[in-house]
Amino acid sequence: MSLLPRLRVFATPLLSSSLLSSFSQNGGRQMMTTIGINTCSLSSTAEASDLECDVTHDDVKAAERANALCMAVSQLASEFSKESMLSLQKFFGVRRARVISTGSLKLDLALGVGGLPKGRIVEIYGREAAGKTTLALQIIREAQKLGGYCAYLDVENALDFSLVESIGVNTENLLVSHPDCAENLLSMVDTLTKSGAVDVIVIDSIRLSSKSVKDHGSVEEVTCGGNALRFYAAVRLRLSRIRLIKTEDKVEGVLICAQVVKNKLAPAATKKAELGIKFGRGFCHESEVLDLACEHGIIVKDEGSYIIEGEIFDSREAAELFLAQNDAICDKLVKDMRRLYF
């Protein structure tokens, strides 16, 4: 499965901005000075006066170089699209990436930035029944909470709408399509991306999106689609099953491990998060909130009792049920913890 929150290609402006950043704050002048010193040191006839001349700052030349740079940027702005335009101020003005929560606070912590970045490609892979579709639907739900529109391109034609509704996705704001070939799929992605109105685009799955795409080995070696997707993806998540969640003799869900294999936005590579998924409901959100809130003292735990908003609960099950039935209190706890973490 490949998840594309507002697919855009940022390779060109990122590369160009990194080149320009070396000239900001006298960086370009320092680099040229270093080259001049190295050149003079290779000559046996170089004198001290020659070296002093190299490091002398010329205001006229600096102004000429600044004007030449402005003209180059203006020319590129007229020749290329806005996404490709060079802009130091725009690039460095945004210190934190805009993200969409995964719906799991533990996974958001493992990612290091509080969620999945907008405008980037995210790959979610793993064995069957590992929770890939559930995670994608959770992300869509979180995007809809922020007022966004989402698209689900169901290449496999296997989307269960009862699961979509049970997780809490608003089907009225969800675009669903079943493209029959790679050309139609890419055309849809291109149109939706250029519209700027869609926040999350899910492709389920990348393996069946083209006849030429095959599985090239195990998950540990090469995922579906070959090596290309792993290079383009800003974030790669690997999901695997750990065990079943049982209550007495009844199986209620599955415990999975979400491993951050690649992350270009934070030093969170190889970080893991164990997530519980209840069948027909999605992530065990209340359980995560209860654990993390107890760690920070937001919820007081006294032996086997829990104190939430002044109310005492004698068991963990009762505390989780209270959070599940009171969305406002649960959301308030999540906001408080996100302020602490992010």
Which residue did the predictor score with more confidence, 337 or 96?
A: 337
- The pLDDT, as a whole number, for residue 24 is 42
Last residue of a domain, one of 59, 93, 127: 93
- The pLDDT, as a whole number, for residue 170 is 93
Give the relative orientation of helices 285-295 and 327-341 as an angle to the nearest 10 degrees: 50
User: Are residues 250 and 133 part of one domain?
Assistant: yes
User: Are residues 160 and 85 part of one domain?
Assistant: no
Q: Provide the whole-model pTM.
A: 0.71
Which residue did the predictor score with more confidence, 127 or 9?
A: 127
Share of the chain above pLDDT 70, in %: 71
User: Are residues 215 and 108 part of one domain?
Assistant: yes
Provide the pLDDT confidence category of residue 296 given band limits of 50, 70 and 90: confident
Q: Which stretch of 15-29, 171-185, 286-300 has the lowest confidence by average pLDDT?
A: 15-29
pLDDT digits (tens, 9 = 90+) for 164-203: 999 999 998 899 999 988 888 889 999 999 898 999 999 9
Last residue of a domain, one of 69, 93, 117: 93
**Residue 283 domain-assigned (yes or no):** no
Strands (E), 178-234: 198-204
User: Are residues 163 and 112 part of one domain?
Assistant: yes
The two three-digit tokens of residue 336, written as one number: 């408080």
For residue 107, pLDDT beyond 90: yes
- The pLDDT, as a whole number, for residue 41 is 36
Containing structural domain, residue 121 = 2-9+95-278
**Residue 32 domain-assigned (yes or no):** yes
Alpha carbon 55 to chain centroid, angstroms: 44
CB neighbours (10 Å) of residue 32?
Answer: 15
User: Are residues 177 and 44 part of one domain?
Assistant: no
Residue 308 near residue 322 (C-beta atoms within 8 A) = yes
User: Are residues 260 and 130 part of one domain?
Assistant: yes
pLDDT digits (tens, 9 = 90+) for 110-149: 998 899 999 899 999 999 889 999 999 999 999 999 999 9
User: Are residues 138 and 257 part of one domain?
Assistant: yes
- The pLDDT, as a whole number, for residue 207 is 67
Last residue of a domain, one of 93, 126, 142: 93
DSSP 111-167: HSSSSEETTS-EEEEESTTSSHHHHHHHHHHHHHHTT-EEEEEETTS---HHHHHHH
Provide the pLDDT confidence category of residue 39 given band limits of 50, 70 and 90: very low
- The pLDDT, as a whole number, for residue 8 is 38
User: Are residues 99 and 87 part of one domain?
Assistant: no
For residue 51, pLDDT beyond 50: no
**CATH number of the domain encompassing residue 258:** 3.40.50.300
For residue 49, pLDDT beyond 50: no
Provide the pLDDT confidence category of residue 323 given band limits of 50, 70 and 90: very high
**Residue 66 domain-assigned (yes or no):** yes
**Residue 217 domain-assigned (yes or no):** yes
For residue 69, pLDDT beyond 90: no
- The pLDDT, as a whole number, for residue 95 is 56
Share of the chain above pLDDT 90, in %: 39
pLDDT digits (tens, 9 = 90+) for 254-290: 999 999 999 988 875 558 999 999 988 889 999 999 9
- The pLDDT, as a whole number, for residue 70 is 82
Provide the pLDDT confidence category of residue 223 given band limits of 50, 70 and 90: low
Q: Which residue has the tokens 């998840």?
A: 3
Tally of domains in the chain:
3
**Residue 112 domain-assigned (yes or no):** yes
User: Are residues 210 and 188 part of one domain?
Assistant: yes
- The pLDDT, as a whole number, for residue 158 is 86
User: Are residues 66 and 115 part of one domain?
Assistant: no
